[in-house]
Amino acid sequence: MRPVIDLSRAGKSDVAAFNASCFCLPLNRPALDAAIIADTAIPDMATLLMGRPNLFAGTGVFLAREDLNAMLDQVHAIEAAAELLAFQCAALSRADCAVANLQPATRGAFMGYDFHITPDGPRLIEINTNAGGAFLVRALGEAVARSGAPGFVPFAPGRFEDRIYEMMLSEWRRAGRSGSPRTLAIVDEAPADQYLYPDMLLGQATLNRAGIETIIIDAGGLSLSSKGLMADGRIVDMVYNRLTDFALAAPVSETLRAAFLRDQVVVTPAPRHHALFADKRNLAFLSNNAQVRAWGLAPHHADTLAQLPETVIVTAGNADLLWAERKRYFFKPAGGFGGCAAYRGDKLTRRVWNDILGARYIAQSFVPPPVRQVSTDAGPAQLKFDIRVYTYAGDPLLLAARAYQGQTTNFRTPGGGFAPVVVTDV
């Protein structure tokens, strides 16, 4: 019999204790897969999910309402900072201005703000554009809600499909278009080979139901004609960009870049969004409280940003000091994603340090991740986790946790993967 979890009188410390020690609310992966497959009717979804055994975690994660509110306060403060002219000048000075200045009124679909929860409140770890997984998390949450697990109601602000349609329509109109897009392309490099390809299929189905004809295509399959950007013989009005070529500078992005430069297609998220938010060097601005106040950030937002972990850009000038104090830091590439080439300072070798000095890196004060107790086939395990807030224009679309072992989030840990988030009203 599943335990009934009553957190109605719990405090933040109780929530942390439940996460760390409670084997409650286990998720039955085969049953959840079956529910997702039945709900979507997407060909090959069963095979795709079966081939990703660590896509979904073995349980959900609890989050105190107080911490959620603090996370949203940080999101709003960062979005406000990104509106400041001085911040934009500093951030965009490092970007490719040919593409970073295009369609400047758009806000970027599916922004992702990632947090670690600490006894002193949530701490922002990084910001991501084209944050994947939202459609999978939503499908997981719906399957869990239908499963009848006592007290297990994943967080979802509003009707998801309506919010997604409104987001895409907002981006379309912010780019100066009228009406609504007829054809939208979800674009990635070799999308069918991507681990989150099932997420793209669910996104395609969602947008098709909303009335926007949606296709999934390799960036290399795009072409240009006198009519505009083309894919599979159709004019593409809008691109939901899943590429990790954030500046659209690689050869595979050449056609999309050309259409974007001619304003023949609306692109979201676009190079501007990455330059303003996801370039990790911006965290050095945002965590420098004197700097954001001098730029004119409202005092209440500046007070909120004082909670961000200290972040500095690695340079030749501070290299010796950072090496001496490396155990205090986590080192990340400025344009990195998915935890690639990121290192805990206490694990660094001289060889890796020399590689870091030859690249563009930031050093961020290390914030230990919280842990969640999970039951796996091999027995009980304590997995690390972070919590992602998917947003549009600063408003939350969805919450997800990602459970893992190792230095950074991954989908290789038994019992790990995406997990629904249950917000407790404390």
In tens, the pLDDT along 267-307 reads 999 999 999 999 999 999 999 999 999 999 999 999 999 99
Q: Which two tokens stand for residue 302?
A: 């500046």
Return the ∠ at Cα 54 (arms to 52 and 55), rounded to 5°: 70
* Residue of 166, 193, 195 whose CA lies nearest to 181: 166
Of the pLDDT bands very low, low, confident and very high (cuts 50, 70, 90), residue 339 is low
Pairing of strands 183-188, 238-241: parallel
Whole-number Å distance between alpha carbons of 423 and 426 = 9
Does residue 85 sit within a domain?
Answer: yes
pLDDT of residue 2: 42
Of the pLDDT bands very low, low, confident and very high (cuts 50, 70, 90), residue 340 is confident
Residue 4 has pLDDT above 50, yes or no: no
Of the pLDDT bands very low, low, confident and very high (cuts 50, 70, 90), residue 213 is very high
340/21: higher pLDDT = 21
Query: pLDDT, tens digit, for every residue of 110-150?
Result: 999 999 999 999 999 999 998 999 999 999 988 888 776 55
Residue 93 has pLDDT above 50, yes or no: yes
Does residue 275 sit within a domain?
Answer: yes
Once rounded to an integer, what is the mean pLDDT over residues 406-414?
87
pTM value? 0.94
Does residue 171 sit within a domain?
Answer: yes
pLDDT of residue 197: 97
Does residue 340 sit within a domain?
Answer: no
Once rounded to an integer, what is the mean pLDDT over residues 344-370?
95
Once rounded to an integer, what is the mean pLDDT over residues 398-420?
91
Specify the amino acid at residue 418: F
CA atoms within 13 A on the CB side of 425: 4
Q: Which two tokens stand for residue 366?
A: 């290390």
Once rounded to an integer, what is the mean pLDDT over residues 329-336?
90
Of the pLDDT bands very low, low, confident and very high (cuts 50, 70, 90), residue 192 is very high
Provide the 8-state DSSP code for 295.
T
Residue 230 has pLDDT above 80, yes or no: yes
CB atoms under 10 Å from CB of 30, counted, come to 9
DSSP per-residue letters across 255-308:
HHHHHHHTT-SEEES-HHHIIIIISTTHHHHHT-HHHHHHTT--HHHHHHHTTS
Once rounded to an integer, what is the mean pLDDT over residues 16-38?
88
Query: pLDDT, tens digit, for every residue of 51-68?
Result: 999 999 999 999 999 999
Q: DSSP 3-state helix, strand, coil percentages of the chain (rounded to 5)? A: 40, 25, 40
Whole-number Å distance between alpha carbons of 44 and 79 = 39
Q: Do 207 and 184 touch, CB atoms closer than 8 A? A: yes
pLDDT of residue 27: 87
Once rounded to an integer, what is the mean pLDDT over residues 399-403?
95
Task: List beta partners, residue 423.
Answer: 63
Q: Do 275 and 50 touch, CB atoms closer than 8 A? A: no
* Residue of 262, 314, 282, 295 whose CA lies nearest to 94: 282
Does residue 54 sit within a domain?
Answer: yes
Q: How many domains, in total, are found in the chain?
A: 1
Helices (H) and strands (E) in the chain, counts: 16, 19
Residue 338 has pLDDT above 90, yes or no: no
Whole-number Å distance between alpha carbons of 296 and 87 = 10
Task: List beta partners, residue 242.
Answer: none
226/426: higher pLDDT = 226
Range of the domain at 111: 12-280+370-424
Residue 211 has pLDDT above 50, yes or no: yes
Does residue 112 sit within a domain?
Answer: yes
Q: Which two tokens stand for residue 318?
A: 């501070």
Region at 296 (left for phi over 0; alpha for psi -120 to 50; beta for the rest) = left
Does residue 323 sit within a domain?
Answer: no
Residue with tokens 């060909």: 43
Query: pLDDT, tens digit, for every residue of 149-178?
Result: 555 666 766 689 999 999 999 999 999 999
Of the pLDDT bands very low, low, confident and very high (cuts 50, 70, 90), residue 3 is very low
Does residue 144 sit within a domain?
Answer: yes
